[in-house]
Amino acid sequence: LKAQARIARYFGSC
Amino acid sequence: MLELRLVQGSLLKKVLESIKELVTDANFDCSSTGFSLQAMDSSHVALVALLLRSEGFEHYRCDRNMSMGMNLNNMAKMLKCAGNDDIITIKADDGGDTVTFMFESPTQDKISDFEMKLMDIDSEHLGIPEAEYHAIVKMPSSEFARICRDLSSIGDTVVISVTKEGVKFSTKGDIGSANIVCRQNTSVDKPEEATVIDMNEPVSLTFALRYMNSFTKATPLSNTVSISLSNELPVVVEYKIAEMGYVRFYLAPKIEE
C-alpha cells in the first residue's frame, strides 16, 4: 500500500 | 507604488482560473523580476509556482519589493468582471491594505476599477532545488487533460512510467483498469501537437489523479505541457505562458510506507 508524501519531504523552507 | 499593465489581460484571468481550485489564499510577490506566487494546497501535497516576468508587461513599476496576500477566489471573482480583450492594470500603494484592478476595453470606451482588500497570510516559502530529471515528457496540454480526465473515471491514482517505448499512464479501480501509452511523435504538422520524450533513465511514479486533474485547469494557458519526472521527487507539470513565464505545479508522489 502506498502513502501520500508531502512536499516538505523534498523541499525545505527558505 | 506598484503599477503593472498587462495588455493581454485574459492571461491573468486564465492564471487565476488555473490555480484557485488548488490554493485558497496566497501571497503575490512583486519585484523587479516580475509578479510571482508560490503556494501549497491545504494538504501540503502540491505546490504551485507562478512567474509573470516584468518584461511581459507593457508597463511595470514596482518601486520596492511587495508581498500582497490575496484570497484567490475573491481575486478570480473580480477578474471575471474583466472582458477577455481588456487591458488589466494592477495597482497598489506601498503599505496599503488594498489592491486595485483596472480594466480597460480595447477601444477605451469602458474603464472599470475594482478594489480588493488584502489579507495577512503567514506562508512559508520553500526552496525548490535545481534537479536533473530522469525524464521530461512534452505533449499537447489538451491530450494530457483528456488522459487525466479519462483515467479518473476508472481509478484514483495514476502510475506514470517512462521507458524508451514511450510514456504510459495507468490506473486501477473497482470496475477495472486502464493503460494509455503515448509514443514519441515528432512527425506531426505542428510542433505543438508533438509528443517528445527526453529520457535519461526509466522512471515510474504514482500520483493522486485528483491533483493532476486540478493542474489541467491551466490547459487554456498553453498548447503544450511538460511533465518532468524523477524517481522519489515531486513531478513538475509546467504550462508555459507565452512571452511571460510559467505556471508550475509540483506534486509529491505516493510512496511505499
Please report, for residues B54, B102, B103, the alpha-carbon distance to residue B83 in angstroms, rounded to integers and kept in the order given: 22, 11, 8
| Among B41, B42, B44, the residue to mutate for chain A (most A Cβ within 10 A) | B44
ipTM of the assembly? 0.96
Burial of B19 (0-12, 13-18, 19+ CB in 10 A): buried
List residues bridging with B135 in a β-sheet.
B199, B229
Question: A-chain residues within 8 Å CB-CB of B255?
Answer: 2-3, 5
The pLDDT assigned to A14 comes to 80
Q: Quick one: closest CA in A to B124, which residue?
A: A13
Cα–Cα dist B114/B82, whole Å:
10
Residue type, B165: E
Distance CA B89, CA B71 (A): 18
Interface of B with A in 88-127 (CB under 8 A): 124-127
pLDDT attached to residue B11: 97
Residue of B nearest to A6 (CA): B45
Nearest CA in chain B to A4: B254
| pLDDT reported for residue B32 | 95
pLDDT at B243: 87
* 3-class DSSP state of B72: helix
Chain B positions in Cβ-Cβ contact with residue A1 (cut-off 8 Å): 257
CB contact (8 A) between residue B125 and residue A13: yes
Q: Which residue in the set A1, A2, A7 is minimally distant from B234, CB to CB? A: A7
pLDDT computed for residue B120 by the predictor? 95
Residue spans of chain B under pLDDT 70: none
Query: In chain A, which residue's Cα lies nearest the Cα of B253?
Result: A5
Cell of B187: 512527425
Give backbone dihedrals phi and psi of B55, rounded to 5 degrees, phi first.
Answer: -65, -20
- The verdict on a CB contact (< 8 Å) between A3 and B126 is no
Measured CA to CA, the distance from residue B229 to residue B251 in angstroms comes to 10
DSSP per residue, B218-254 = GGGG-SEEEEEE-TTS-EEEEEEETTTEEEEEEEPPE
Reading the block at residue B132, the C-alpha cell is 536533473
Confidence of residue A1 (pLDDT cuts 50, 70, 90): confident
Nearest to A2 among B43, B46, B256 (CB): B256
pLDDT given at position B204: 97
C-alpha to C-alpha distance for A10 and B91, rounded to whole angstroms: 36
Residue B114 — φ and ψ, nearest 5°?
A: -120, 125
B124:A6 CB<8 A: no
Residue A3 with chain B: CB contacts under 8 Å: 254-257
How far apart are the C-alpha atoms of B249 and B39, rounded to whole Å?
10
